Chain A
Amino acid sequence: MDLSLSTRTVGDRTVVEVGGEIDVYTAPKLREQLVELVNDGNFHLVVDMEGVDFLDSTGLGVLVGGLKRVRAHEGSLRLVCNQERILKIFRITGLTKVFPIHTSVEEAVAATD
């Protein structure tokens, strides 16, 4: 399965819905999308990963890169994920401490801390 990306605006947040597999082949597409959003002035991003079937370290690298970009504009990057197998990758790499991870888009959009 390939990667699918769609974006929508909720208040001052931009929600990026990601589906499929984020790996060494597809991660550049996600990187492009995040870079484009930030370049267009969207600094508060919510990446919805509920439709993601697979995530590897290349994908993690892209998310960290996105976080770095929004932070340069005092923005935020929040993740939505309930899938144990995806959460596990964030845990073993220590990235649960870096990304705010929410259980729903609503919760992520409402979060302000």
Chain B
Amino acid sequence: MATVELRFSALPEHVRTARLVAAAVARRAGVDEAVLDEVRLAVGEACSRAVGLHQVGGIDAPVRVALIEEEKQFSIEVGDEAPHAVPAERVAGGAAADADVEAEEDEMGLAVISGLVDDVEVTTGKNGGLIRMTWPAAPPAVTVG
């Protein structure tokens, strides 16, 4: 089970909340302070992308974020429920130019994520996509007080 799970309406104003929560849980999980900025940015990118996909697709479902603390590692999963078209299925036509612009923005976010995070897995299917990002984490020190 995830350490912390978050579900939020697919609105841009909530992405910041997801960033703050993710950074707080990552810090607690023992992710290096120097890497927290990257965690914050990567989860923000993944959530922005999911929000965009839901808005474009007119999907009412919330965006899901799972923060998973494991032995020596910390993972974040950001899931959307947008049915992803397989590239070959992209149909040519009137909406093609718009679709291209959206696809470009989509790829910009993914480019930042893959530039930032060494361990990242992107899976997409008919029922939605999932981005899983993992960082090393030192076992939390014993806290006093």
Contacts and interface: CB of A to CB of B under 8 A. Distances in A.
A and B: interacting chains: yes
Interface of A: 21, 23-25, 54, 56-58, 60-61, 85, 89, 92-93
Interface stretch (B88-96, B107-115, B126-134): B107-115
Contacts of B15: 23-25
17 contacts: A21-B16, A23-B15, A23-B16, A24-B15, A24-B51, A25-B13, A25-B15, A54-B19, A54-B40, A54-B41, A57-B48, A57-B108, A57-B112, A58-B48, A61-B108, A92-B111, A93-B111
Contacts of B47: 24
Nearest to B115: A92
A60 B107 CA distance: 13
A23 B40 CA distance: 12
B48 A92 contact: no
A21 B105 CA distance: 19
Interface residues of B, number: 21
Contacts of A24: 12, 15, 44, 47-48, 51-52
Contacts, number: 51
B121 interface: no
B45 interface: yes
Contact of A56 (B13, B41, B115): B41
B37 interface: yes
Which of A23, A24, A60 has the largest count of B CB atoms less than 10 A from its CB? A24
